[in-house]
Amino acid sequence: MARESLILLATMFAASGCLVAEPPEYQPPAQTPPLLDLFLADPPVTHVLAKPLDATIDFNVPVRSEDAGDMLFGAVYVDWGFSTEQWQKNVKEDPSTFDDDTRYIDFPWTVTGVTEGCHQLTLLVCHFATFDPIAQRPTDSNDQAIATWWLNVEPDETDPNSLDNCPTVSAPEMEMP
């Protein structure tokens, strides 16, 4: 009986080898749309920016995305989507990964070329491959993020946060890319 137990024990140890599977083949991460963290945007999107003409405003917006090697590209507009729309400037950010949570879209903007009163300042961010440089617009609505600030140019000193005379839109006037 002892011999049979010893043979059984030896068989169990011999049969319980360790199997090592091949590691899985990982694919490069897929590109994701940019995500702007508007809660941490500076200046806040929740405040009216009451500024005189020729004032410079520094914008800083945290962004996350999986870029798969494609740089982020932003376009800044006054009154985007309205008949008074004006392209202002482009901004670029080097490619990174979604895990990099310390990236920012930073850009200065000087209040010029706009009338007094209320305006919107809009930042559209997408990947460079989905940006049309001729139209100055993203071409894929699934690969874009938008931030909009309200701007009061040469505000009335008695009510600098007023949004009177802000652009409004009627359905036929509005054209989305």
Mean pLDDT (the chain, rounded):
85
Please compute, for residue 154, the number of CA atoms within 13 A of its CA located in the half-sphere on the CB side: 8
Question: Which pLDDT does position 170 carry in this prediction?
Answer: 55
Residue range 97-102: mean pLDDT, rounded: 80
Q: How far apart are CA 70 and CA 96, in angstroms?
A: 8
Does 175 score more than 60 pLDDT? no
Side chain identity at residue 71, one-letter code? M
- Structural domains in the chain? 35-153 (2.60.40.1930)
pTM of the model: 0.78
What is the band of 7 on the pLDDT scale with cuts at 50, 70, 90?
low
C-beta separation of 34 from 145 below 8 A: yes
Q: How far apart are CA 72 and CA 105, in angstroms?
A: 9
pLDDT tens, residue by residue, 16-70 = 556 677 888 878 788 999 999 999 999 999 999 999 999 999 999 999 999 999 9
Inter-residue long-range contacts of 108-111, CB under 8 Å, 24+ positions, other chains counted: 108/56, 108/57, 108/58, 108/59, 109/56, 109/57, 109/59, 109/76, 110/54, 110/55, 110/56, 110/57, 111/51, 111/52, 111/53, 111/54, 111/55, 111/56, 111/57, 111/151, 111/153
